[in-house]
Amino acid sequence: MRMLVAGGTGHVGSRLTARLRELGHDVVVGSRRDGFDPVTGAGVGDTVRGADVVVDVLNSPEMAAAAATAFFRGTTERLLAAELSTGVRHHVLLSVVGADRALANGYYVGKVAQEDAVREGEVPFTIVRATQFHDFVPTIADWLTVDGTVQATGTLLQPVAVEDVVDLLAEVAQGAPLQDTVDLAGPDRYRLDDLLRATLADRSDPREVVTVDGAALGAESADALVPLGAHRRGGRRYPVAGVPVAGGAAGTAA
């Protein structure tokens, strides 16, 4: 099949492009350096033309709700319009588990708006929602650092390896549209404070992690960012030993 990976030079997209090519697919990389800009619409129609499947792994650093929504919904609507006019059979979107339960976080507001655009569109779709990536955990510590101390809550996280995300995206892209959402999480569930404490120790980072009350990352409750029902479970464990497991991570192996 001919597949377009929108955001194909990024953290997920570059790995997904390589995986799909290993599987024998004709993969087009959608990136600005190749004349593909879904923010402005430039080159989108020409790049999409001929694709059977479009996988959208575009990302943005925007954290304000209005800016994140403008990026995620806007790029998605431009992609979908081009797909509809060129006969794309399947739109696959990468989103975030619990985004709709963490709406104090502007980035997640944008992702929810993006999911809405996909559901409202006419192109058959599958939405893959993943939990936070393993390699994103140190960034969370940086976000929560105040005066040299990491102030973390007991919010639950179930981090997943980016390789497991790529595996599932490739599987979904090769299959029929589900017209539904598939959740993916790692095999183990942790408290955020425990996870950060062990991660920083493993990196010989001297910052102290202090446990504070409340939720984190815009979550509405302690379990807002983990799957609450049926989900796929990645097989790669978090690569730091000694993190106490919080439990409750049952799911179907990816």
For 12-23, how does the pLDDT look when each residue is reduced to its tens digit (9 = 90+)?
999 999 999 999
Which pLDDT value is given to residue 169? 98
Q: Read off the tokens for 229.
A: 């029902």
Examine the pLDDT at 48 and tell me if it is beyond 80: yes
Cα 38 to chain centroid, rounded:
18
Q: Checking DSSP bridges between strand 90-96 and strand 125-130, what pairing results, if any? A: parallel
- What pTM did the predictor assign? 0.95
Strand positions, DSSP E, the chain: 2-6, 26-30, 53-56, 90-96, 125-130, 145-146, 149-152, 156-157, 181-185, 190-191, 208-211, 232-233, 252-253
* pLDDT confidence bin for 11, thresholds 50/70/90: very high
Cβ within 8 Å of residue 149, ≥6 positions away: 207, 208, 209, 210
Question: Would the pLDDT of 250 be above 70?
Answer: no
Q: What is the mean pLDDT of residues 207-216?
A: 94
Q: What is the pLDDT of residue 247?
A: 72
Whether 60 shows a pLDDT value over 70: the answer reads yes
CA dist., res. 203 & res. 143, Å (int):
17
Cα–Cα distance, 235 to 197 (Å, whole number): 23
Q: Smallest Cα–Cα separation from 243: which of 189, 186, 184?
A: 189
- Predicted confidence (pLDDT) per residue in 147-174, tens digit: 999 999 999 999 999 999 999 999 999 9
Alpha-carbon torsion (42, 44, 47, 49), positive or negative: negative
C-beta of residue 252 within 8 angstroms of C-beta of residue 233:
yes
215 pLDDT band, cuts 50/70/90, is confident
Closest CA to 144 of 214, 60, 67: 214
The pLDDT mean for the chain works out to 96
**Distance linking the first and last C-alpha atoms of the chain:** 23
Q: What string of DSSP letters covers 183-217?
A: EEE-S--EEHHHHHHHHHHHTT--PEEEE-SS--T
Stretch 222-246: mean pLDDT, rounded? Answer: 95
| 95-118 mean pLDDT | 97
Q: Which residues contact 242 (CB under 8 A, 6 or more apart)?
A: 198, 201
CATH of domain 2-253: 3.40.50.720
